[in-house]
Structure 1
């Protein structure tokens, strides 16, 4: 009985992870990047100025979101 419940719970978790909506962060253009953020970083910024304001006073910088950059390249011939 315990194994069945555990299997069903694992399957439900797998389905939820597979069919859930993608994170909104992948849709925004600019990422706050740096040593503490990793790569691609904190990608929640719509404008470059917004990202610069968040990076102000830290050792972070702003870059274009790679998901956005590569999506643009895919359609340009």
Structure 2
């Protein structure tokens, strides 16, 4: 009986430790959105390609359109790469 309680206590502690280390998933917008029906604007923006979106909305009375964050330039521009400095080559 005592061993069972100890095992349950250790299992509970391990589960709590696991929950304490979980971090939420980072949200990411993709270029294509499923729109219409039960989705508010801009829709479910979870598709890399138009074909993926079309496959998902097939038979669901939805349609695919560009993600407005991508279509209207609201995404963050890529950071420029730093210029690499090179040594001048000495003439022979």
Q: Quick check: TM above 0.5?
A: yes
* Equivalent residue number for residue 31 of structure 1: 33
Structure-1-length-normalised TM-score:
0.59
Q: Which stretches in structure 1 are left out of the alignment for 5+ residues?
A: 1-20
Higher Rg:
2
Query: RMSD of the TM alignment (CA)?
Result: 2.1
Structure-2-length-normalised TM-score:
0.50
Query: Structure 1 segments of 4 or more deviating over 4 A?
Result: none
Structure with greater contact order relative to length (CA < 8 Å, sep ≥ 6): 1
What is the CA deviation profile of residues 20-67 of structure 1, one whole-angstrom value per residue up to 9, with x for unaligned ones?
x9621x2x1100001211110000100000000000011100000000
